[in-house]
């Protein structure tokens, strides 16, 4: 494509093909080689790296997403007989799924570092775009503190529950019903949108179901759908309410947009009416000015004809005898007429 554009005489800048960032490409193979070289170099030269017990490099040749491979590594560490249960884990990444994965490890000390994401709404024509930009600030999420919030949220229901209160089992159920809102692998249900407060609604449903449940919905990674049925029934009832609210919102938005359009159209019509009226008034004024100019020109023509018929001495005599305002105007007009004739006759000097 680049050669074809150059042959067509177009200026083509050097651009990086993002398809190269995928497993099996030459770019990724070279990147993996450089990563292995970099780690070996740092281990041999950097004192901080020498203090590390182990450095693991998992490149594109190992299948799976990075966060899932790291979680598998943490789970395998827990199988070791010498594993310290107070081991502290720190994860860096912007993906919100990391919070769910960290909760699923049930590790007591787990932190996530991520960049702050700033949400902005930009209007592009008739479309409102929801853009996320990465800020310069960092956020530190303490998963153990989040677990305490779970305990505070559900602990008041412990006295009403038929089963023993276990915050770890509640967290597993929470992660299960969060799948309905969607993640990197599953689409969300059409009636659930986190921007509409669907997560808060599901939490309310679960808190309603929890006192009547005979057991938790999930157990050792297995979903018991018969236990989840009351929650799903509530979601079904909520679905109709969500769709009705969306239709109402769209209708109200249409009405408000139509009102704005009608107001704008009325404003345009008024502007057209005023412009037309203004044009008519200007035309009338111009007609009056033209009529006045024609009147003055006609009077001037009459004076000129009279001056051509009468000589100056006679006009002066008329003025001396009558001494009327009209006679004075006539004499003044005669002087201006003679002055115009003199200026027209004499050539101008540049």
3-state helix, strand, coil in the chain (%, to 5): 65, 10, 25
CA torsion angle 236 237 238 242 (round to 10) = 90
CA 24, CA 20: separation in Å to the nearest integer? 9
Per residue in 146-176, pLDDT (tens digit) is 999 999 999 999 999 999 999 999 999 999 9
The CA–CA distances, whole Å, from 22 to 15, 34, 61, 98 equal: 17, 16, 10, 22
- With tokens 């799903």, the residue in question is 232
Strands of 190-273, DSSP E? 218-219, 222-223
- With tokens 């597993």, the residue in question is 172
CA 33, CA 319: separation in Å to the nearest integer? 117
Cα torsion 100, 102, 108, 111: sign: negative
Compare 215 and 322 and report the one with higher pLDDT. 215
Per residue in 24-53, pLDDT (tens digit) is 888 888 989 999 999 999 989 999 888 888
Q: How many CB atoms lie within 10 A of CB 188?
A: 14
Do the Cβ atoms of 190 and 242 come closer than 8 Å?
no
Does residue 289 surpass a pLDDT of 90? no
pTM over cut 0.75:
no
The band of 201, judged by pLDDT with boundaries at 50, 70 and 90, is: confident
Dihedral pair phi/psi, residue 219, rounded to 5°: -155, 110
Q: Which two tokens stand for residue 154?
A: 């559900």
Closest-CA residue to 101 (of 167, 172, 150, 181): 172
At 174, which helix (H) or strand (E)?
A: helix 167-178
Q: Which residues pair with 121 in a beta bridge?
A: 130
CA 191, CA 235: separation in Å to the nearest integer? 9
Do you know the residue count of the chain? Answer: 350
Q: Please report the pLDDT score of residue 157 as a whole number.
A: 92
Tell me the average pLDDT across 261-280.
Answer: 67
Per residue in 77-115, pLDDT (tens digit) is 888 888 888 889 988 888 888 888 899 888 889 999 988
80-117: burial string, b at 16+ Cβ within 10 Å, e else = eeeeeeeeebebeeebeebbebbbeeebeebbbebeee
CA 216, CA 121: separation in Å to the nearest integer? 40
Do the Cβ atoms of 140 and 153 come closer than 8 Å?
no
């Amino acid at each position: 494509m680049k050669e074809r554009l150059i042959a067509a005489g177009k200026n083509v800048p050097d651009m990086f093909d993002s398809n190269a960032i995928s497993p099996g490409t030459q770019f990724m193979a070279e990147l993996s080689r450089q990563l292995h070289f970099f780690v070996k170099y740092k281990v041999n030269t950097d004192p901080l790296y020498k203090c590390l017990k182990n450095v693991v490099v998992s490149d594109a040749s190992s299948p799976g997403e990075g966060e899932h491979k790291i979680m598998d590594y943490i789970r395998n560490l827990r199988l070791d007989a010498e594993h310290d249960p107070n081991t502290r884990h720190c994860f860096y990444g912007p993906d919100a799924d990391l919070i769910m994965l960290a909760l699923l490890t049930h590790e007591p000390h787990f932190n996530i570092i991520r960049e702050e994401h700033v949400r902005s709404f930009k209007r592009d024509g008739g479309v409102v775009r929801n853009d996320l930009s990465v800020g310069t600030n960092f956020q530190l999420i303490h998963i153990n503190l989040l677990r305490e919030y779970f305990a505070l949220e559900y602990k008041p229901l412990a006295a009403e529950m038929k089963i023993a209160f276990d915050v770890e089992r509640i967290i597993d159920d929470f992660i299960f019903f969060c799948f309905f809102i969607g993640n990197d692998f599953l689409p969300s249900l059409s009636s659930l949108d986190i921007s509409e407060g669907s997560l808060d609604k599901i939490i309310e449903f679960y808190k309603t179901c929890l006192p009547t449940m005979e057991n938790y919905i999930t157990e050792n990674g297995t979903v018991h759908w018969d236990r989840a049925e009351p929650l799903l029934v509530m979601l079904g009832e909520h679905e109709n309410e969500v769709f009705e609210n969306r239709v109402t919102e769209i209708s109200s938005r249409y009405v408000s947009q139509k009102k704005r359009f009608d107001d704008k159209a009325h404003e345009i019509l008024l502007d057209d009416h005023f412009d037309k009226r203004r044009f008519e008034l200007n035309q009338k004024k111009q007609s009056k000015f033209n009529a006045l100019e024609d009147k003055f020109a006609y009077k001037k023509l009459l004076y000129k004809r009279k001056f051509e018929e009468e000589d100056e001495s006679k006009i002066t005599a008329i003025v001396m005898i009558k001494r009327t305002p009209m006679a004075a105007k006539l004499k003044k007009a005669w002087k201006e007429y003679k002055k115009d004739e003199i200026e027209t006759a004499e050539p101008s000097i540049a």
